[in-house]
Amino acid sequence: MVIQRLLEIAQVPGPYQQKARDIYTNLRLNLVNTVFNSWKKTGFAWEQYNPATGKGQRTWRRLRRCPQIAVAVGW
């Protein structure tokens, strides 16, 4: 996955390290926020998210609500 490769590049000193770190951080945060907010709203983690609307498409799994997760990630 792209996020994994960005993390690998961000951990190796070189000309792209800082750029990869910045992209990785922003992409990861956006991904976590999208999945978490969708889960809060629908109770589902979705397999795909619409790139224009951010709404979930194709259900992946229904997750039990867990307040500890919200506290751990700061929501």
Q: What confidence score (pLDDT) does residue 56 get?
A: 77
21-74 pLDDT per residue, tens: 999 999 999 888 888 888 888 877 777 778 888 777 766 555 555 555 554 555
Q: What confidence score (pLDDT) does residue 54 get?
A: 76
CA neighbor of 3 nearest in space, from 20, 19, 18: 20
From residue 53, alpha-carbon distances to 4, 20, 25, 38, 65 in Å are 24, 26, 21, 12, 23
Q: What confidence score (pLDDT) does residue 44 get?
A: 77
Q: What confidence score (pLDDT) does residue 1 get?
A: 77
